Structure 1
């Protein structure tokens, strides 16, 4: 079957639209099998935005027509943006263009000019793929017509329910609904109610709502479970053949206290003459998940694990993620190894990859390692005495690598992460955040080093794989940043000359200034968003020329693809004969990036609502915080201890006319001259917290007001995620007794372009900011159900 590249080359060579029959003739496909395969490939290329199907049945390359494929990002006010698959500035979509699409749809659009604000304005040419048909909302009955008002405010059109499709739901109930007919330019979407979740919104319902709203796959197909159960639970003698034996090497895992699966182990030893040998061993998931198996297809569909307070929706079944793939202590496990030579300055000078078999010598926690090597606690050192020399070597290596990181100019945005702990009923028990210690950072640097070497290895051998790309700041954001910095007598070079070191220098210069948090926040917002790409574009934030995700194949599909590519390269395979082509990898990059964003949105939804649930318990109480956002309608304030954010509406400020300066991030009173800007330290009182609206309202407390101690506990947060590019994931405990989601009927098949029912095509789902480099993952929680245990958490490496 001709590749996608061959089809695109044919169309570009002919310089005209070709029908399927003419394409088949040109490619000499005459038999029934060849015609069927061509039909599937052309359909997939239309879906992925590579081709456009004309009204007369002719196909044309989208890039030849100057069409841009991307995902629609809707705003509650009715307008939206198109986020291009290939990156770059978004296209503005007017309310008229948004009538026939919804948030999450994939479309082809053309640039039709500039709007009055100078933004590129787009016109939707073709809908490639509809968003997930499932949504969660509240039933409203008006004049005998049943509507579902979506819980997600970005779904700006209410869903009209056809008569007889109400499923017994009454006004005010929270339901799971399904879009049966997508919107058009003349009417909104039509649908049916599939399940009733409850009468009122409660914390115990939040995760179920997020799973249903984002249509996260949370049940395993029978064939996937059969394949997972067929995997041998122990390493066999045949599997050890041909692998490097590392069983005597004292590799250790370092994770959170409540981790359940372990996908990376590390070892370091000093070398004569200076430097170290660093061994990073990663769970060999590619050995257990064959290409095109049921396990593989389900893992690709999910593409990532999704983490909520209490449990996880995993990418792989528990028998793999917590069993044979997990580098559990004192048992044999298969692994893929990055074996590196690091010089005295912390730079990797040589590396090699190989398949190995190992035995973890200890399962360690961040806290225990930090107590032993950082705090020099005698009891902790005694507990880890068997591997203490290796930990000391790792700590010395980390210090050299951290200094090398500083020299190359990597950007570090240090922002604590919130951690929730739930009680047995799913209610928020405590909220807190703590800073990372050197144990977290040690593992992060080891993982970054392995990821870089994986990218260099594959780039050199030209094997198709996914790279983690983080582009320099967009020109528009950077221009706003420069204007803002001038207010503080700070300057940065032009956008075409800026380097990560320039950002790092500004952060160092303002480290001891009162505006530090303000400036750091603005620098952070100027960054672009990281995504998976089929070619190596480097990582701006980490100041690296090559970067890929290699270290977490249990919970991220791109890592699994990198493992397969490395294994293929080690076998001596040629790029042209690899199972994945460049075009196929480009489509997979889009899919994995979208699934990542979907998981992040679901996690953020739950996170916001749990914050509201927590603050609802503290109405009337006062807390200290810092201004993290300034708008024309008020101030966003983040509380110091719990890191919960809320709004001080302009009506809650002293009586005056306030003027907003968007460049200086400033709100200033006309009469009293009072100014509020990012980074200001304030005291606020909690006025209101709504789970429905996901909003928390504060009132500004006058200076000298009482500040009670905040009822959150740092002890409740054993780990945190610092928001730099090497972020550690939060970890959660699982409340028992959680009820499963109501059983829902399977999704109907849909035509990808029209959203209407079809026999063959199935509607698929659509999936922050810039990237965070490897870190240790989040909590491994108990499985949602007996058959769906959690793999590693989402800490992004």
Structure 2
């Protein structure tokens, strides 16, 4: 069975356990128990201190720790440190994530709460006559441990109703009269779009559905016919890879994102009408405005500010989605299934049908709309003094883009008013200036809290009139973006506090601090760049933000942001409040985007009321299963983020595909035993410089300093005097070697002064780092 890392010894050839090597050394169980009960990572120094060991025990302790790591009792956790492993049960539910180079499925446990990446499960091929396992399928598997983080699995029971699907690129097989019968029976192959799938799928003759070369297709596995690559039949054609709109379709089908609405849900949306003023506070005279991107079509939040003594009175009005999407309705069931809207460069897959998302639930200028609003008072320092919530009837006074609001705000700062810069919308004098003044006060409060403010520029894919990619550029970020963000954060805090005060169930937005292992790894990585952090237990969001401030404007800024981001826990939704680490807030809930997030709709319902009265409040049954709903919408959020990121990567690869051979500037953003990851300055795209393309030197990978250094082989001069050396954030120039749009993968080679010399024909050298040479 293929796909296992050959650098690891086979499971049946592990070194035998060492006998008790010296008097005074703890036995295996005592040592395992000590490491399990210790907080964080443990090294030889802590073990020696705990058990009173001296220098004479050093070699024996090292051998014992090595044996325990090889058998999987301990897991390496950084330089010369360990933690107790979390072994999986003998039978567990796993989900197939891809295939190894031989076509055998590779899986991950569905329930994994351990630190670090989930273990890898190498699945045995299915029994003859059964379809092969495909990405996305879930099975109950019997597991056998192969080593740390590695298992062998055999299917006990399939859990998915429908067979798994493969989404990828179809290429017909070459047809020749003298081809052997086996090849004549092969109509073509599907290259999976998922990078985790390392093998192609064979499409037998008669199973192509008429697919042509370079079409994106959906295929289903066929019953297995023995070892080797697996077979599949094409069941759907999505379009040619060169068609930009097919890129987002590829992500939609790869991740199983629902993109068509049931007829019943569409009918409910079409029956929607405007709300009555009865029982609502009349806000139509308040000049609330929306500020969104130029290409936005749904406007679900509006803002207003006016002076209030030394501080400000703010109103944040949100579309009253709960009025239209009633609990238990077809619209509600579909919205919960989708969890959130998904935004691609060329389309949006909305959570609600267009009749609502772009119609009755969109706060269009000059049109009456129902809303839930938060009226919030803040002092001059941005601290909230009081708030109240209500249901209202509003009429948006203007729809501004971020660029328009920014221009108006800059004009207000220069002239004292916004008259000359405001769009011609009839807004009262000074409204934009007041909004920006309130934002500055809120920013002061944010800085006082000490929040984590990552600067991770987004990439914008722009299309020409023919639908082809015109450019890929960083998305500009203005103070007007920050203004809206601060107003929304304030309203979200008020919503969480209001539900706490009323003792109503709340689906909180929670963000745990980084795990000790991730935090320690982040400290190690940042220290190699010259940035120090407090010990793990004392680390706060303000400490990370201080590092970001120091790095701002330097060559390492992007890498520092990425390093801190990778260390963060995943934010999620839960009825159990643990606070929000990144925002440094004790209670936080999403309230401001019920058009595109189901979690916000749940918060709206809780604010409206409980039980059957009112009919659009939070049902007791839903209140009892908030943990289940929170887990489900957290999963759909992660699915959407992954689909959006992969789509952008594929667009970038398609854009760069016509520029193979060009040279680009970038920086080293990752270092591994098998090469360098380089992130390009212009597009933000990341690709690999394989170690095999570097010089014929012995390459030394130092995990503690995150460096890769060349040491010339004995008798050779080497590629460069003293050997080449690479470290994180180092500026490099690379040449694009390959761009694969179907996976979004990029391959680079070094260019410029650091490019290795051409190898003479037949030259061979060790290109494997120490400790990584295959066995």
- Tell me whether the two structures share a fold, i.e. TM-score over 0.5: yes
1:605 equivalenced with 2:646 (yes/no) = yes
Pairing of 1:636-785 with structure 2 (within 5 A): 636-653=677-694, 656-671=697-712, 672-703=722-753
In 1, Cα distance between equivalents of 2:488 and 2:222: 45
In 1, Cα distance between equivalents of 2:597 and 2:566: 26
Q: 1:618 aligns with which of 642, 656, 659?
A: 659
Structure 1 residues 163 and 685: alpha-carbon distance in aligned structure 2, compared to 1, 3 A threshold = closer
C-alpha contact (below 8 Å) 1:480/1:663 kept by paired residues: no
In the alignment, which residue of structure 2 is the partner of 1:258? 295
1:528 equivalenced with 2:578 (yes/no) = no
Corresponding residue pairs, total: 633
C-alpha contact (below 8 Å) 2:365/2:396 kept by paired residues: yes
C-alpha contact (below 8 Å) 1:275/1:344 kept by paired residues: yes
Secondary structure (helix, strand or coil) at the match of 2:119 reads strand
Instruction: Note the C-alpha offset of 1:627.
Output: 2.3
Q: 1:566 aligns with which of 584, 607, 610?
A: 607
Q: 2:122 aligns with which of 80, 95, 98?
A: 95
Q: Deviations over 1:364-390 (max 9, x none)?
A: 111111112125577424746724422
Structure 1 residues 595 and 634: alpha-carbon distance in aligned structure 2, compared to 1, 3 A threshold = same
1:291 equivalenced with 2:327 (yes/no) = yes
Instruction: Note the C-alpha offset of 1:615.
Output: 1.1
C-alpha contact (below 8 Å) 1:72/1:83 kept by paired residues: no
Structure 1 residues 691 and 649: alpha-carbon distance in aligned structure 2, compared to 1, 3 A threshold = same
Q: 1:323 aligns with which of 359, 377, 384?
A: 359
In 2, Cα distance between equivalents of 1:493 and 1:121: 40
C-alpha contact (below 8 Å) 1:106/1:130 kept by paired residues: no
Which one has more relative contact order, counting CA pairs under 8 Å at least 6 apart? 1
In 1, Cα distance between equivalents of 2:619 and 2:241: 53
Secondary structure (helix, strand or coil) at the match of 1:667 reads strand
In the alignment, which residue of structure 2 is the partner of 1:367? 403
Pairing of 1:271-420 with structure 2 (within 5 A): 271-272=308-309, 274-374=310-410, 376=412, 379-381=420-422, 383=424, 386-420=427-461
Instruction: Note the C-alpha offset of 1:552.
Output: 0.7
Instruction: Note the C-alpha offset of 1:414.
Output: 0.6
Instruction: Note the C-alpha offset of 1:325.
Output: 0.8
Q: Deviations over 1:315-341 (max 9, x none)?
A: 111111111110011111100111112
1:634 equivalenced with 2:665 (yes/no) = no
Under a length normalisation based on structure 2, what TM-score does the superposition of the two structures give? Answer: 0.73
Q: Deviations over 1:518-576 (max 9, x none)?
A: 333322221121222232222111111112211111111111111111111599999x9
In the alignment, which residue of structure 1 is the partner of 2:583? 542
In 1, Cα distance between equivalents of 2:754 and 2:199: 46
Structure 1 residues 578 and 478: alpha-carbon distance in aligned structure 2, compared to 1, 3 A threshold = same
Secondary structure (helix, strand or coil) at the match of 2:375 reads strand
C-alpha contact (below 8 Å) 1:69/1:85 kept by paired residues: no
Of residues 281-290 and 461-470 in structure 1, the stretch that sits farther from structure 2 once superposed is 461-470
Secondary structure (helix, strand or coil) at the match of 1:167 reads coil
Q: 1:243 aligns with which of 280, 290, 305?
A: 280
Under a length normalisation based on structure 1, what TM-score does the superposition of the two structures give? Answer: 0.71
C-alpha contact (below 8 Å) 2:134/2:164 kept by paired residues: no
C-alpha contact (below 8 Å) 1:333/1:358 kept by paired residues: yes
Instruction: Note the C-alpha offset of 1:265.
Output: 0.3
C-alpha contact (below 8 Å) 1:306/1:314 kept by paired residues: yes
Instruction: Note the C-alpha offset of 1:438.
Output: 0.7
In the alignment, which residue of structure 1 is the partner of 2:194? 152
1:456 equivalenced with 2:490 (yes/no) = no
1:177 equivalenced with 2:204 (yes/no) = no
1:269 equivalenced with 2:310 (yes/no) = no
Q: Deviations over 1:278-309 (max 9, x none)?
A: 11100001101111111111212212111111
C-alpha contact (below 8 Å) 1:331/1:360 kept by paired residues: yes
Q: Deviations over 1:199-223 (max 9, x none)?
A: 6654342223222333332222222
1:206 equivalenced with 2:255 (yes/no) = no
Instruction: Note the C-alpha offset of 1:118.
Output: 7.0
In 1, Cα distance between equivalents of 2:534 and 2:544: 10
Instruction: Note the C-alpha offset of 1:697.
Output: 2.8
Q: Deviations over 1:90-116 (max 9, x none)?
A: 541331489786544456789998x75
Of residues 649-658 and 327-336 in structure 1, the stretch that sits farther from structure 2 once superposed is 649-658
C-alpha contact (below 8 Å) 1:68/1:109 kept by paired residues: yes
Secondary structure (helix, strand or coil) at the match of 2:472 reads strand
In 2, Cα distance between equivalents of 1:400 and 1:66: 57
Instruction: Note the C-alpha offset of 1:125.
Output: 8.1
Secondary structure (helix, strand or coil) at the match of 1:344 reads coil
Instruction: Note the C-alpha offset of 1:626.
Output: 2.4
In 1, Cα distance between equivalents of 2:149 and 2:535: 20
In the alignment, which residue of structure 2 is the partner of 1:135? 166
Of residues 617-626 and 258-267 in structure 1, the stretch that sits farther from structure 2 once superposed is 617-626
In the alignment, which residue of structure 2 is the partner of 1:60? none
In the alignment, which residue of structure 1 is the partner of 2:62? none
Instruction: Note the C-alpha offset of 1:180.
Output: 7.7
In 2, Cα distance between equivalents of 1:582 and 1:215: 28
In 2, Cα distance between equivalents of 1:177 and 1:120: 28
